[in-house]
Amino acid sequence: MTIQQDAIELLTSATTARIRFSFAATSGWQVQVNSSSFRRVADALESGRLTLSTDMSVLPAGAAALYNSATNTLSTRALRGRVERGLFLHEAVHASMDLSLGGRGITTIDNEAAAYTTDALYFRMMGLARSRWSASLHAAAGTVADGLLRQHEVDTAALNALRTAITNHPLYNPYKLIPYLANG
């Protein structure tokens, strides 16, 4: 299988279809992540609206995957293991926001909160040992994922703790007040 086929299979898999949650964004509207989000990305890869790249030279140090909303490109390592797949789904959430928001915009903090919650849910559902996703933001998202698996809705206190962790993280702090570029 090509990496494109791997990506589409993952985006449309039964496990991915179980990733479903929503929360109120800072701006008031509902952020929604569900099977339609991932189907949208799979369709865009099939139609060529999104490009998949394995060029790792574009990635910041330490990153395993990246979505560039200016070029509509998803960059990823080969989707061989659960870690790579979960991090790809994180970037797919960013791609889905870009495809669906039509310039409405979302803050970087809310966009990342949705993406980290997605990878944590995937890791939990796949039984990946916590020690393999213990970096601070994944761990904070893990608390949101625990609540979702328990009560099927986002716990506001856990979500706010994740938002604070993202806001204070050096990767995102410079962008915390800048709307994410969602240009389709």
Place of tokens 């698996």: 149
Closest to Zn ion by CB, 115 vs 159, is: 115
Comparison of 5 and 168: residue with beta carbon closer to Zn ion:
168
Residue 128 CB, nearest approach to Zn ion (Å):
18
User: Which residues of this protein are in contact with Zn ion, per CB under 5 A?
Assistant: 112, 115
Q: Which residues neighbour 133 within 8 Å (Cβ) at sequence distance 6 or greater?
A: 83, 86, 119, 120, 123, 139, 142
Taking the least distance from each CB to Zn ion, the nearer of 5 and 138 is 138
Cα separation, 160 vs 148, in Å, equals 14
Residue 42 beta carbon to Zn ion: minimum distance, rounded to whole angstroms: 19
Measured from the CB atom, is 110 or 112 closer to Zn ion?
112
Task: Work out how close the CB of 90 gets to Zn ion at its nearest, in angstroms, rounded to a whole number.
Answer: 6
Give me the least distance between CB of 96 and Zn ion, in Å please.
Answer: 12
AA identity, residue 164:
T
Antiparallel, parallel or unpaired: β 73-76 and 51-53: parallel
Q: How many other C-beta atoms lie within 10 A of the C-beta of residue 150?
A: 9
Residue 152 backbone phi and psi in degrees, to 5:
60, 20
